[in-house]
Structure 1
């Protein structure tokens, strides 16, 4: 018997704006027919199964990683572009004052402005 899949923490599913954004991106890709529900379930399930966090607290990290896997597999975004954008986002987040929006400019590295 397999353990039930972890659920998002708390009653409200999103603890941070990025979680809602990655959720919305996934739904938009499904709505556009670029990602199928079955392949999405398989990708997310694989990431959750590979997780070393038994309490499910990394649910949206698994979600984001599964989305990255599908984007790369479908060649909608190269793995290099995904890694570069992720690194730029983390650098911008580190420079952004608490409570301010994290923003990437066209070069992918500036914080400040509108999201």
Structure 2
């Protein structure tokens, strides 16, 4: 994301740093943006759920940093997709496990590929 794409104007680089620390941060943000833009979830429901996840992280004593923020983004996405019946909790666990198996067998520096793991 370059910051010039729709809905990303707030994602600017600072001191030549990338807008996202990790590729999955960009992917999680893009998924949330797509789900809101396509009407699967409302912007208000997204903001409320993300805020609640960030509050939970704060109350649990987690650091106020980028990693905590994007873990909250991921948790909010999982919750909203479960609530929307877009994916069940069981299916989410199966997909997470499939990704774990795939990345554990992937050599460093190579893209992770799912080969019928789901």
- Where in structure 1 are there 5+ consecutive unaligned residues? 1-9, 109-115
What's the TM-score, normalizing by structure 1?
0.77
Determine the structure 2 residue equivalent to 1:92.
102
Q: Secondary structure at the match of 1:33?
A: coil
What's the TM-score, normalizing by structure 2?
0.75
Q: Distance in 2 between the 1:97 and 1:73 partners?
A: 36
Q: Distance in 2 between the 1:22 and 1:45 partners?
A: 16
- Where in structure 2 are there 5+ consecutive unaligned residues? 1-12
Equivalenced residues, count: 99
Of 46, 63, 71, the match for 1:61: 71
Superposition CA RMSD, Å: 1.6
2:40 is equivalent to residue 30 of structure 1? no
Determine the structure 2 residue equivalent to 1:39.
45
**1:40, distance to aligned residue in structure 2 (A):** 0.3
Cα gap change, 1:59 to 1:13, in 2 (>3 Å): farther
Determine the structure 2 residue equivalent to 1:14.
20
Q: Distance in 1 between the 2:109 and 2:28 partners?
A: 19
